[in-house]
Amino acid sequence: MEPRAVTAPSPAALWRPRWRYEPAHLALYAALLLVVGVLVVLPIASVLRGALVDSGGFTLAHVVRFFYTPLYLESLRNSLYAGLGATLLASLLALPPAFLLGRYQFRGQALLVTWLTVPLVIPPFVGAIGLNQALGRAGALTLFLEDRLGVQFVAAEGLRGVILAHALHYFPFILLTVTNALANVDPSLEEAATVAGARGVRLLWRVTLPLVAPAYAAGAILVFVRSTDDLGTPLILNVKNMLGPQAYFRITTIAREDPDGYAISIVMLALALVAVLLATRLGQRREVATLQTGARAAGRPLRGWGPRLLLALSVLVGFLGLLPHLGVVLMSVSRVWSLTYLPTGYTLDHYAEILFRAPQFVVNTLLYSATAAGVAVAVAVGIAYLQHRGRVPAPGLLDFAATAPIAVPGVVLGIGFLRVFDRWTVPWLGVPLTALWLIFPMLYVARRLPYAVRATSAAMAQVHPTLEEAAAVCGARRWRTFRRVVLPLVLGGAVAAGVLVFVTAAVEFDATVLLISRVEQSPLSYGIYLYAQSPRGRGAAAALGTVAVVLVAAGTYLANRIGGRRPALTW
């Protein structure tokens, strides 16, 4: 093969250069800009406006007041504390198994990986319900500690509960990135250090750890930002003095136009933005030390007490990670479970409640999520196509706007949606747009578009332009080429992304809760919250939670089957 510096035209240089831009592409571009503009840009802009503009024009007064209000400062402190605590605890949980999995080779390794990633299928606010049953004030393990050991310690309560729920849900983020980084470290880098005289702990400290540090940091930042952003878990555990709950309460109970709510939003937005930018930069640095050729270091066998200790720790982490699941599932079939280790009676009544007596939660969720997934995939395919082949001005603009929500906390996007679409009156019906169920699919499209666009764009990047040229030469017009060549090749990635949009939409809570106007319209996630408010409803909440877990597990499995390889990490 010869290099083609001069002769290779860019793929966009195909056909009809008499016009710089392609009319059909421009039309699609305009339509997509409108969709992304309305769903993403308007709500975010509206939040910024709410915080930074008042009758006198631009002002920083609201943001400044945030830092002089003790309640908000305490909330900020608590959110940061929860984020750091969750990150620290998640690291403690993740690092021993990560080291074991990245460095050693043993039977049952794949099984252990699967087991340790199971926590991802339970949304943290659902997990909180299960944790409460296991480690809450009247939890089984709490009682056990008190009865048998005389220790009074409630692990899952207040901020501590939030930290525990987040750590147990998010530690696989760190586990997977670090395992991957360890397995991908070019063995010759360590070999070179060994030849130079470093071994044992010094090798680990001076070479190996610095090499995987960026990967660890990226995973840890993700845990931190998800944990500080969260609204559902604190609400379920009745923790109010955090940023998410404060923003939610200001907007929903004080006033829709209360500037303090928007000031809190802006602080959350800034935190998330900094974290995401940092993680992105670290992600770029990570590439340097990893190997492209797939020549991995052979894993070492498990010998000696060190690795055995790691294995024991990993199994312990595996059991801890299952606590929320066990708690939720058991709760969902318990008739009475109070002040005993295990339920004192079993029943399927809670499932009858949520499937037959009040089926709207599940039905709504399926409808909203499926709609959102379909729309998100269609929009993502359009954006990915224009990004790679579009003969339009600034094709990157669309992609940028569509991926922006990745740095927007759910509460903030929900507030933005409320502020914008509450004022939009639907023609003929004469009600605000927020009164229609369509607002939920719209919200989920906006929230999950980044993931759909990334996955689809990655699939599109794999389609070599000559595949389309070959079709054109064979007699296929542009649309036929798209339908017969491009679409089938991109569809696998797009559908996998769609399934993930579906499952993440199905358990979305933070933004959903802001847009609930009528219970009949509410999806499963809000149903869980609603039931969990009363002690008698906890069984039904757990049953809904179990449905959510099953949906997420099935969807994640399906997405991995369709999309291949990559572990599906999303919310």
Give 204 or 487: the residue with its C-beta nearer to other proteins. 487
Strand partners, 423: none
Site for other proteins contains 23 (CB under 8 A): no
Give 76 or 497: the residue with its C-beta nearer to other proteins. 497
Which DSSP category does 432 fall into?
Answer: B
Which DSSP category does 14 fall into?
Answer: -
| d(C-alpha 377, C-alpha 459), whole Å | 12
Which 474-493 positions form the footprint of other proteins (CB under 8 A)? 474-477, 480, 484-485, 488-489
CB of 391 to other proteins, least distance (A): 13
Give 226 or 391: the residue with its C-beta nearer to other proteins. 391
Question: Phi first, then psi: what are they for 54, rounded to 5°?
Answer: -130, -165
Helices (H), 255-391: 259-286, 305-332, 349-352, 360-389
Stretch that binds other proteins, among 214-222, 431-439, 461-469, 521-529 (CB under 8 A): 461-469
Q: Which of 134, 471, 494, 559 binds other proteins (CB under 8 A)?
A: 471
CB of 456 to other proteins, least distance (A): 16
Site for other proteins contains 9 (CB under 8 A): yes
Binding mask 486-525 for other proteins (x = CB under 8 A): --xx------------------------------------
| d(C-alpha 520, C-alpha 524), whole Å | 11
Site for other proteins contains 17 (CB under 8 A): yes
Q: Print burial letters for 25-44: b (CB count within 10 Å at least 16), e (below 16).
A: bbebbeebbebbeebbbbbb
Instruction: List Cα–Cα distances, 473 to 15, 266, 358, 478, in angstroms.
Output: 12, 53, 58, 11
Count of residues engaged in binding other proteins, rule: CB under 8 A = 32
CB of 463 to other proteins, least distance (A): 9
Site for other proteins contains 536 (CB under 8 A): no
Site for other proteins contains 16 (CB under 8 A): yes
Residue where the block lists tokens 């919310």:
571
Question: Taking Cα atoms as reference points, which of 467, 417, 302, 421 lies closest to residue 47?
Answer: 417
Strand partners, 336: 345
Give 364 or 456: the residue with its C-beta nearer to other proteins. 456
CB of 462 to other proteins, least distance (A): 9
Distance of CA 222 to the CA centre of its chain: 9
CB-count burial class (<10 Å; 0-12, 13-18, 19+) for 126: buried
Q: Which of 189, 433, 469, 553 binds other proteins (CB under 8 A)?
A: 469
Q: Which of 63, 472, 553, 558 binds other proteins (CB under 8 A)?
A: 472
Site for other proteins contains 20 (CB under 8 A): no
Q: Which of 238, 344, 466, 533 binds other proteins (CB under 8 A)?
A: 466
3-state secondary structure of 54: strand
Give 13 or 24: the residue with its C-beta nearer to other proteins. 13
| 376 Cβ contact list (under 8 Å, min separation 6) | 444, 445, 448, 449, 452, 497, 498, 501
| d(C-alpha 403, C-alpha 536), whole Å | 41
Give 11 or 537: the residue with its C-beta nearer to other proteins. 11
Give 15 or 205: the residue with its C-beta nearer to other proteins. 15
| d(C-alpha 554, C-alpha 121), whole Å | 9
Site for other proteins contains 14 (CB under 8 A): yes
Residues lying near other proteins in the complex (CB under 8 A) = 1-9, 13-18, 464, 466-467, 469-477, 480, 484-485, 488-489
